[in-house]
């Protein structure tokens, strides 16, 4: 929608920002920012805001119609050179994460394209480019180049295209150290040898590592790693090298797979995306408290946005919850957590991002926030009031009853099968391979 408006008016979207930090600052300090100077222009910020809202925006050539581009070069091919110099060139151009890549030769890209039924010039993704203020479309061939760079095999390529189709970056333009997680469900996880057991989040499995890295390289190519433009994180997060990528351990889980809880069939292959700020590792048998008591301690220190949390548990934990404690489904346990995890009202509202993003809902009368706002600080509330927003994922090798509790929110699930190389009996057209979209594809 914004792109259509830009094409019609040939105008840029103005960006104005205040000094830092913003998080944790008092209202008085934030007010001083607004009447103070823009860090770039040195003009009063409030005057710039008024000008943007009341005066015409100057036209610019930067907002041409969206176009497919090659994310690694203006020309289709780079000039021949030594491997060392080409590796350095890719880094100097901002096309890599700083680690060595597989150089994307024409032959390698052609082999990668054999892993999908989509045509090389089909559109696989699009993103907003902050430097040129335009929506840019990326072809299947563009994504194949990045897949080669990440070290992918052709059989990984449908998964990478599904990630690209999500239009979501693994890197976030925030001053805080956001991180992301990529989960693969369905038959393709086993077909390409993904790890869902011992060391699933460790650097020991090729498919897990490559798929997670491909997502970061796509995000870099899409322009999400430009300091002070799209990259503002003060310290960054080393998880963004491969984004906590793994498969769910469906074979050893006593519950239905995650993608089935989102409306897909068990036999479908699906990727799901999660993102957030924080997670806490459990310490296994070091405590005599129950899992609910432990999670109450861990999750109660992370006031949730929209009741979101993601708990990644070993199959041993899931088995105990079902067989010994009677939670027949993941949702049953989520409802239990929703009712039993409590937090002091003051702790909730005095958290910076809650005050910034949720207080407005309370003032509009949205429940339960409106009622919580009227309670004293020491009143106990149940901040995970939407059990459907608590995600349970079963991952691990059953060597210890461990879990990870996080504030990660679910960002959506996306089908892999429509990107697969076509079986002989399936007709391909425009990258769809004759397969219907699955339900829940764009769930929030």
Q: What pLDDT shows up at residue 258?
A: 98
Dihedral pair phi/psi, residue 251, rounded to 5°? -65, -40
How many angstroms from the chain centroid is the CA of residue 84? 32
- State the number of CA atoms in the 13 A half-sphere of 277 facing the CB: 14
Residue spans per domain, the chain: 2-63
- The Cα–Cα gap between 14 and 18 comes to 14
Per-residue pLDDT tens digits for 7-63: 333 345 667 778 777 766 777 888 888 888 888 788 888 888 888 888 876 655 444
Considering the chain, what is the average pLDDT of its residues?
82
Better-scored residue on pLDDT, 379 or 351: 379
β-sheet bridge partners, residue 179: 276
pLDDT mean over 332-339: 94
Q: How far apart are the first and last CA of the chain?
A: 19
- The Cα–Cα gap between 412 and 183 comes to 11
- The Cα–Cα gap between 32 and 36 comes to 6
Q: Which of 201, 208, 393, 207 is nearest to 315 (CA)?
A: 393
Per-residue pLDDT tens digits for 238-272: 677 788 999 999 999 999 999 999 999 999 999 99
Structure tokens, 244? 């906590």
Q: What is the CA radius of gyration of the chain?
A: 24
Structure tokens, 314? 């070993």
pTM of the predicted model, to two decimals? Answer: 0.81
β-sheet bridge partners, residue 410: 274
């Amino acid at each position: 929608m914004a792109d259509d408006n830009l094409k019609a008016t040939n105008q840029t979207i103005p960006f104005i920002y205040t000094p830092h930090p913003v998080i944790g600052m008092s209202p008085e300090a934030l007010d001083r920012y607004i009447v103070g100077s823009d860090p770039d222009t040195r003009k009063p910020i409030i005057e710039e805001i008024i000008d943007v809202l009341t005066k015409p925006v100057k036209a610019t050539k930067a907002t041409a119609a969206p176009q497919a581009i090659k994310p690694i070069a203006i020309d289709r091919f780079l000039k021949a050179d030594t491997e060392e110099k080409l590796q350095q060139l890719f880094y100097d151009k901002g096309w890599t994460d700083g680690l060595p890549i597989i150089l994307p030769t024409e032959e390698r890209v052609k082999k990668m394209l054999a892993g999908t039924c989509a045509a090389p010039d089909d559109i696989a993704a699009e993103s907003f480019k902050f430097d040129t203020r335009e929506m840019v479309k990326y072809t299947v061939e563009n994504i194949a180049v990045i897949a080669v760079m990440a070290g992918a095999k052709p059989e990984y390529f449908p998964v990478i295209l599904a990630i690209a189709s999500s239009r979501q970056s693994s890197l976030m333009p925030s001053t805080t150290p956001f991180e992301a997680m990529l989960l693969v469900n369905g038959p393709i996880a086993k077909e390409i040898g993904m790890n869902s057991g011992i060391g699933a989040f460790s650097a020991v499995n090729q498919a897990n590592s490559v798929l997670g890295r491909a997502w970061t390289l796509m995000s870099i190519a899409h322009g999400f790693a430009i300091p002070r433009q799209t990259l503002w994180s003060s310290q960054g997060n080393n998880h963004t090298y491969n984004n906590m990528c793994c498969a769910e351990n469906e074979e050893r889980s006593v519950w239905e797979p995650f993608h089935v809880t989102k409306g897909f069939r068990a036999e479908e292959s699906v990727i799901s995306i999660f993102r957030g700020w924080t997670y806490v590792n459990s310490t296994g048998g070091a405590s005599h408290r129950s899992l609910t008591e432990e999670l109450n301690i861990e999750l109660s220190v992370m006031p949730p946005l929209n009741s979101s949390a993601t708990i990644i548990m070993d199959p041993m934990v899931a088995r105990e919850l079902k067989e010994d404690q009677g939670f027949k489904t993941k949702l049953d346990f989520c409802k239990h957590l929703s009712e039993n995890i409590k937090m002091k009202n003051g702790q909730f509202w005095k958290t910076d991002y809650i005050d910034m993003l949720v207080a407005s809902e309370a003032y509009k009368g949205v429940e339960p926030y409106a009622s919580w706002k009227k309670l004293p600080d020491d009143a106990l509330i149940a901040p995970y009031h939407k059990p459907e927003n608590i995600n349970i994922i079963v991952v691990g090798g059953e060597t210890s009853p461990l879990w990870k509790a996080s504030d990660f929110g679910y960002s959506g699930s996306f089908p892999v099968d429509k990107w697969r190389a076509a079986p002989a009996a399936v007709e391909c057209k425009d990258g769809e391979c004759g397969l219907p979209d699955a339900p829940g594809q764009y769930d929030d």
